[in-house]
Structure 1
Amino acid sequence: MASEVASQEKPTTFTYLRKRAGLTQREISIAMDVTVTTVSQWETGARRPRLFPEQIQKLLQVLDCTLEEFVEAFSQNKP
């Protein structure tokens, strides 16, 4: 039970969401039609995604995450 609590306390980052989904940066870039560099910048916080609602929906599906998790991931990575 303690490990469940510890895992819940782990900060949600874009990298965490990607790895939890079992995807590489390249796979995300292909699915979203962006460069690997762009995905890398999302992970480092150098750039935030600028996506249309339909693209956000697609990324949530690709990452198999909730909107809340997605928002939290990028509130942690402020440029």
Structure 2
Amino acid sequence: MQFHAPVLEEQAKLWKYLELWVDPVLFPPKILMLVGDQDGTCRIFNPASDYKLVVTHPSYENAQAWLLEDEYERVKGPLLAEEVF
């Protein structure tokens, strides 16, 4: 998989799945990317800002609650790493 963002190769090997979340109220919609790591940690990146790390959560439930609090909606179910490679 080729990354178009300054992501360290070591970090890229840690992810298990990713999800895209969108704020449908804004136009153009604001998109965030949730990356779930092998250890259960979830990181949220902003693709529009060179994939800047927005926040890290210890679990999916915490990350999902944070996104839902700001009224983001999940665009697509998880994209599993094994489906990409």
- Taking structure 2 as the reference length, the TM-score comes to 0.28
Q: Which has the higher contact order (CA 8 A, sep 6+)?
A: 1
Higher strand share: 2
- Taking structure 1 as the reference length, the TM-score comes to 0.30
Higher helix share: 1
